Amino acid sequence: MRIRIVDAFTDRPFAGNPAGVVLLDSDGFPEDAWLRGVATEVNHPETAFAHPLPPGSDADWALRWFTPATEVDMCGHATLATAHVLHTTGTATGTVRFTARCGILVTTAHEDGTITLDFPTAPLTPTAVPDGVDRALGATPRSAHDTGPHIGDLLLELADEATVRSLTPDIAALGRHSRRGIIATAPAEDPARGYDYVSRCFFPNVGVDEDSVTGSAHTALAPFWSARLGRDELTGCQASARGGLVRTATRGDRTLLTGSAVTVIDGELLA
């Protein structure tokens, strides 16, 4: 079967967040051990596996995501990568519906090559800043929010963009403060640069020390910054080494994430 490596939330190779994509011909998923083995072999933050569903189903494709360490409930960049493969190979056009552990996810391709993901908005709950998280992160948060069951992160608001960019956290220590990891964020220093807020994401509990561009985190970042900035449509910059931009739009209990993707490897999976 074919396996692709796709860089998501970028319009150029070797940027954004890489994901493996495997489109299955079967009407079900192989054993979990095989899925985990492929994800470990690919060794990118996520590998997506999808198989078509019969006509009349609630969705068009079933979708699962695995890090090198575990299966996750929600992944934005690997969903974008999967939709990109479906459209660039002519397997699908227009809108594609996926069923996943977090519910029905809808993706829509646009003429300019971008793809919009329709994801559930993360339910943000203010919480006390945990003892020790400032030492683990290397900065003192202004506020903390729980992001709900599907994401499982602790969102920490920091003082400014420079603080977010300069973080050198104790990755192992961060893992003690949330189920998946930490989202560190701050307002953009200069919105004229093309983005409204910055973030970095550290996910030690799923085997990803720092994620390059995290679509699922933006389902929490979008409502968080929309409430503060007074606008429903924003652009987030994830300030990782590879970096990437995510256009966000809050629509009540749904968040729209828009970005580009580039296929960098198209190969044959022999195992």
Cα dihedral 60→7→256→218 (10° resolution): 130
Per-residue tokens: 162: 């420079």
Tokens of 138: 């290397």
CA diameter of the chain = 53
Catalytic site residues?
Answer: 46
Q: Which residue has the tokens 């296929």?
A: 263
Nearest to 172 by CA among 145, 142, 136: 136
The one-letter amino acid at 59:
A
Cβ proximity of 212 and 250 under 8 Å? no
In the DSSP assignment, the letter for residue 178 is S
Distances (CA, A) of 184 to 49, 110, 230: 29, 31, 20
In total, the chain counts a number of residues equal to 271
